[in-house]
Amino acid sequence: MRARSLIAYAQGVLAGRYGLSDATQAFDLLRGVSQRRNIKLHQIAAALTSSAPPAGGAQEWFPGRTRTPAPSLRAVTQADLDAGNLGAVLTAALERVLDIVGGQAGNVQLAEDGALRLERHHAHPRLFTDYFAFVDHGTSCSQAAADLRQVTVRNIAEADDIFDDATRQLLLDTGSRACHSVPLAGPDGTARGVISSHHVRPLAELGRNQLEALEQVQHLMGTYLHWHHHNVVRDALEDLHRTVLDHAGPRGAVPGARARRTRRDGEDARQADPQG
């Protein structure tokens, strides 16, 4: 429901900003760029609604932008992954974390619209993935994201200072007895996501080598997610902008009649996401 609301909101923003005929046309444009760029529809919607809009009459959304090379992914995998394939990189990072800590299950969450959205998981039952589809407070992962530090819950059954009763009981019912959450913060200090491992037994204290290896993953993936947002996602937004203008014809820049709305959109978006 939350994802559908975000996509519907993005349709309205797109239709209003460019003077499209209706929300269906806006959805078709969003879906088209999602398929062309291999980026999930909800990620396109989140980027559209959180980024400052293109200037009125601009042919480029981000004029003068310099693309940067992708960071090396060797800290999470020796495979030659396509850095533009977010899903493959997240899967590799999750596997690396589980290998370091010996977790039997785990998940990757990405920051979206003020919450953590579950993007990848390993070995979690449906009850777990439904319950934790979106998280904004009251869990070890939300605490890790808020404090930008790793959080270990060595025994979930005794962790009444982190989880409420319902959440703790659901974790126990789905086989999790301990967990460890690693925040993924970019060079701008923004929490881009969290990787968490889950364990079928209470967890012993992690060793120095484990913590150092996790810190390497933490730094790399935070840097990678920052790169992905500022390069791959912004490429997709540029694609969307050009596609709308092409449909509108050679003079089809952001309609002048909507200039005041465009400036207002920009002010709101900059407050929501100063990094764009």
Q: Given a cut of 90, is residue 4 above it in pLDDT?
A: no
Question: Mean pLDDT throughout 55-68?
Answer: 95
Which comes out higher in pLDDT, residue 47 or 276?
47
Percent over 90 (pLDDT), the chain: 86
Q: Whole-angstrom Cα distance, residue 86 to residue 14?
A: 24
Q: Given a cut of 70, is residue 227 above it in pLDDT?
A: yes
Question: Mean pLDDT throughout 56-80?
Answer: 95
50 lies in the same domain as 125: no
114 lies in the same domain as 157: yes
73 domain-assigned: no
Q: Which domain holds residue 193?
A: 86-226
Q: Whole-angstrom Cα distance, residue 238 to residue 203?
A: 46
255 lies in the same domain as 146: no
216 domain-assigned: yes
138 domain-assigned: yes
Question: Mean pLDDT throughout 220-238?
Answer: 98
Contact 12, 26 (CB under 8 A): yes
Question: pLDDT (tens digit, 9 = 90+) per residue, 102-134?
Answer: 999 999 999 998 999 999 999 999 999 999 999
120 domain-assigned: yes
Mean of all residue pLDDT scores within the chain: 91
91 domain-assigned: yes
Instruction: Name the token pair of 73.
Output: 């992914």
75 domain-assigned: no
126 lies in the same domain as 213: yes
| Burial annotation 239-275 (CB, 10 A radius, 16+ → b, else e) | bbbeebbeeeeeeebbeeebeebbeebbeebeeebee
100 lies in the same domain as 217: yes
Q: How many domains is the chain partitioned into structurally?
A: 2
80 domain-assigned: no
pLDDT on residue 249: 53
104 lies in the same domain as 129: yes
Residue 247: band (very low, low, confident or very high) from pLDDT cuts 50, 70, 90: confident
Residue 1: band (very low, low, confident or very high) from pLDDT cuts 50, 70, 90: low
33 lies in the same domain as 143: no
38 lies in the same domain as 109: no
pLDDT on residue 87: 97
Question: Mean pLDDT throughout 81-97?
Answer: 98
70 domain-assigned: no
93 lies in the same domain as 221: yes
Q: Given a cut of 80, is residue 265 above it in pLDDT?
A: no
Mean pLDDT check: name the lowest of 1-5, 61-65, 149-153, 218-222. 1-5
Give me the CATH number covering residue 160.
3.30.450.40
> Considering only CA atoms, which of 179, 96, 105 is closest in space to residue 143?
179
Q: Whole-angstrom Cα distance, residue 145 to residue 72?
A: 23
Q: Whole-angstrom Cα distance, residue 181 to residue 197?
A: 7
Q: Whole-angstrom Cα distance, residue 231 to residue 83?
A: 11
137 lies in the same domain as 198: yes
Question: pLDDT (tens digit, 9 = 90+) per residue, 142-189?
Answer: 999 999 999 999 999 999 899 999 999 999 999 999 999 999 999 999
Q: Given a cut of 80, is residue 264 above it in pLDDT?
A: no
60 lies in the same domain as 122: no
139 lies in the same domain as 244: no
Question: Mean pLDDT throughout 184-195?
Answer: 96
The type of residue at 28 is D
Which comes out higher in pLDDT, residue 133 or 248?
133
Q: Given a cut of 80, is residue 24 above it in pLDDT?
A: yes
